[in-house]
Amino acid sequence: LKKVRTRHFQSAKENGIKITGLTSYDQLSASIFDKAGIDFLLVGDSAGNNVLGFDTTLPVTVDELIPLTRAVAGAVTRAFVVADMPFGSYESSPQEALHTAFRFMKETHAHAVKLEGGQRSAEQIHRIVSAGIPVMAHIGFTPQSEHGLGGHIIQGRGEGLDQLLADAHAVEDAGAFAVVLEMVPATSAAQVTKELRIPTIGVGAGPDVDGQLLVWTDWAGMTTGRIPKFVRQYANLAGVLTDAANAYRADVANGAYPAPEHNYE
Ligand code: KIV
Ligand code: NA
Closest to 14 (Cα-Cα) out of 233, 256, 160, 197: 197
Q: Is 49 in the pocket of ligand 1 (CB under 6 A)?
A: no
Separation of alpha carbons 188 and 123, rounded Å: 25
Closest to 196 (Cα-Cα) out of 163, 165, 155, 161: 165
* 213 touches 202 (CB < 8 A): yes
Best of 51, 171, 213 for a ligand 1 pocket test (most atoms within 8 Å of beta carbon): 213
Q: Residue 187: pLDDT above 90?
A: yes
* pLDDT the model gives residue 226: 87
Separation of alpha carbons 41 and 29, rounded Å: 10
Residue nearest to ligand 1 atom 4, measured at CA? 44
Confidence of residue 1 (pLDDT cuts 50, 70, 90): confident
Q: How many CA atoms lie within 13 A of 105 on its CB side?
A: 17
Separation of alpha carbons 36 and 107, rounded Å: 26
Among this protein's residues, is 182 annotated catalytic?
Answer: yes
pTM here? 0.98
Average pLDDT over residues 149-155: 95
Separation of alpha carbons 34 and 66, rounded Å: 19
Domains and CATH numbers, the chain: 6-234 (3.20.20.60), 236-265 (no CATH)
* pLDDT the model gives residue 141: 98
* pLDDT the model gives residue 225: 84
Q: What type of residue is 243?
A: D
Q: Residue 203: pLDDT above 90?
A: yes
